[in-house]
Amino acid sequence: MTDSGARPGKRERLVSSASDLLYRQGVERTTIAQIANAADVPPGNVYYYFKTRDDLVHAAIDAQAGEMTTLFAGLERLPDPHARLRGLIHSWTDDCERAAEYGCPMGGLCSELNKVEGDLSRHAAGLIGRLIDWAAGQFVLMGRPDGPQLAVTMIARIEGAMLLANTLRDPQIMFAQSRELEEWVDSLA
Amino acid sequence: MTDSGARPGKRERLVSSASDLLYRQGVERTTIAQIANAADVPPGNVYYYFKTRDDLVHAAIDAQAGEMTTLFAGLERLPDPHARLRGLIHSWTDDCERAAEYGCPMGGLCSELNKVEGDLSRHAAGLIGRLIDWAAGQFVLMGRPDGPQLAVTMIARIEGAMLLANTLRDPQIMFAQSRELEEWVDSLA
């Protein structure tokens, strides 16, 4: 799938609008027409880029994977694994208000797609797997051979805190839980 | 809404089928026709009991609230708050295979309904709130004035572990995380 011959930016706009709408209203409730409208792309043009809504969801997951690559690259410029893990926590909690309003973009997507067996579900699960692997690597660099288990604990705690903050519409939950997590990471360093 | 004049059990069967289908396939993908079919109730009869799918979802949440009441009543027969909190963890992890296949019934429902502002979302959130309050009370009985904060941490960790186990289809995650949580509760006792 390429943009050759098409006005530059349409595909990118569709993916960006899809990501935003999937985040705010979920997969099932989001239509191609809504995405096209939000992207300011005529609905009839969408099929030039994406044959189905699933293709668009797939591309939105790819975009999340791209953001994760950028995040990891930024964190890896930090001097040590302890700082990188703290940075990872901050990447979720920088905007507690938004977390309380809409939850975790990745966690919400996985939770919904978990109900649907198939490629999309596995594709979204790949994001969580990659995140755990990265965090596990950092814990191992910190001298913790139990890095994989610690990484699961850390990501579970973040995802659970996001779910509770979102469910109870309470940013303070995210704020307090991230403080606790930072102290926990400090205690392991 | 009463069952007077109707064959006993139809309403109960509809609520039970709704609960099961909502758990396995989510709210948006579940139709009244599917629920009626699973409950062995003629679709035309459903409207005698429930005017809309939302009414059925509401009743399924009520059913979860009823199960929670039963769970708490059972746990409160245990001799001390420490045992009750361990019992609460076990209530999730007794069936790690099912957790890995379908996630947490309550967490999944909240995650999906969080995307839809309204009564249903608040009704489901009430389940999480009630759970946190109950756990907070037990921590306070254990002599922990920070009970409310500990309760949020505990429920967040359980919900996050369920989400990861479900996303990665790995019961072992739930098993290991529940062991960690038990040790954590022990350390606070």
pLDDT, tens digit (0-9, with 9 covering 90-100), for A126-144: 999 999 999 999 999 999 9
pLDDT confidence bin for B4, thresholds 50/70/90: low
Q: Do A164 and B156 touch (CB under 8 A)?
A: yes
Q: Alpha helices, DSSP H only, in chain B?
A: 10-25, 32-39, 43-49, 53-76, 81-93, 96-102, 105-113, 119-141, 147-167, 171-188
Give the Cα separation of A115 and A105 in Å (integer).
16
- CB-based contacts of B74: which residues, under 8 Å, 6+ apart? B87
Give the Cα separation of A163 and A147 in Å (integer).
24
Task: State the nearest Cα–Cα gap between A98 and chain B, in angstroms.
Answer: 13
DSSP assigned state of B52: S
> Which residues of chain B neighbour A108 with C-beta distances below 8 Å?
111, 114-115
Give the Cα separation of B127 and A128 in Å (integer).
26
Give the Cα separation of A61 and A64 in Å (integer).
5
Task: State the nearest Cα–Cα gap between B8 and chain A, in angstroms.
Answer: 32
Task: State the nearest Cα–Cα gap between A112 and chain B, in angstroms.
Answer: 7
Nearest to A157 among B111, B132, B160 (CB): B160
Q: Which two tokens stand for residue A91?
A: 């990447």
Q: Do A153 and B128 touch (CB under 8 A)?
A: no
**Residue pointed to by tokens 């746990």:** B75
Give the Cα separation of B143 and B81 in Å (integer).
10
More confident residue, A19 or A1: A19
Rounded to two decimals, the pTM is 0.93
Test the A interface: residue of B27, B152, B183 with most A CBs within 10 Å: B152
Give the Cα separation of A155 and B167 in Å (integer).
12
Q: What is the pLDDT of residue A93?
A: 82
Asked if pLDDT for residue B167 goes beyond 60, the answer is: yes
Give the Cα separation of A69 and A121 in Å (integer).
20
